[in-house]
Amino acid sequence: MAQYQPQGFRLLPTAVKHLLIINVLAYAAYYILARQGICNLNDILGLWSVNSGHFHIWQPLTYMFMHASIDHIFFNMFSLWMFGNVLENVWGTRRFLFYYLACGIGAGLLHLLMPGMHLTVGASAAVYGILLAFGMLFPNERIYVYFLVPIKTKYFIIGMIVLELFEGIFRSYDGIAHFAHLGGMLIGFLLVLYWRKHPFSRF
């Protein structure tokens, strides 16, 4: 858990609040419609490979608002709230929302290049981008892993990158889009570097 609280800090800023609401509503709709046997929204709004016969142009955007299970959405939304509220308070709503969507969409497009990709859903790629940005802005801030073990953010982020690379290479069968996570971090890294060089950029 991060402990950074700048002056005027809002615990639930505008973009984070609306992203949480949209994700929860999307999961509720998916769950209810699937339970009733009406349709599977993840099949429609999740990200399919281009040659699967199920791909649609909206999926690189909509996949990031869909989730497969309650624990999947819980951990993504918890991370979005914990780290996203800090970034939105620092950057402002417009830049934060642009960053979040760019990480998610960019990761989705990069993931389409991966051979043998399966149906992908979840905000994880955008959330990993948020974690990367938090680590770049506050490298020495301490995060409490499992609420018990303190570790500096920069080391936590490095560990995440190494783990995702390892899992993506050696455990690609586990059904988790590890390279999409890394794609979100890559897009985020490039954006933060750009903003450091162009601090007065419109976005």
Reduced to 3 states (helix: H, G, I; strand: E, B; else coil), residue 46 is coil
The angle that helices 124-137 and 70-91 make with each other, rounded to 10 degrees, is 40
Distance CA(20)–CA(11), nearest Å, equals 13
Task: Give catalytic residues, as residue numbers.
Answer: 124, 181
Instruction: With CA atoms as reference, report the closest residue to 107 among 10, 191, 20.
Output: 191
Instruction: With CA atoms as reference, report the closest residue to 81 among 20, 142, 131, 141.
Output: 20
Distance CA(39)–CA(34), nearest Å, equals 6
Do you know the residue count of the chain?
A: 203
What pairs with residue 129 in β-bridges?
Answer: none
Cβ neighbourhood burial of 150 (10 Å; 0-12, 13-18, 19+):
exposed
In this structure, what are the phi and psi dihedrals at residue 87, rounded to the nearest 5 degrees? -65, -40
Distance CA(55)–CA(52), nearest Å, equals 6
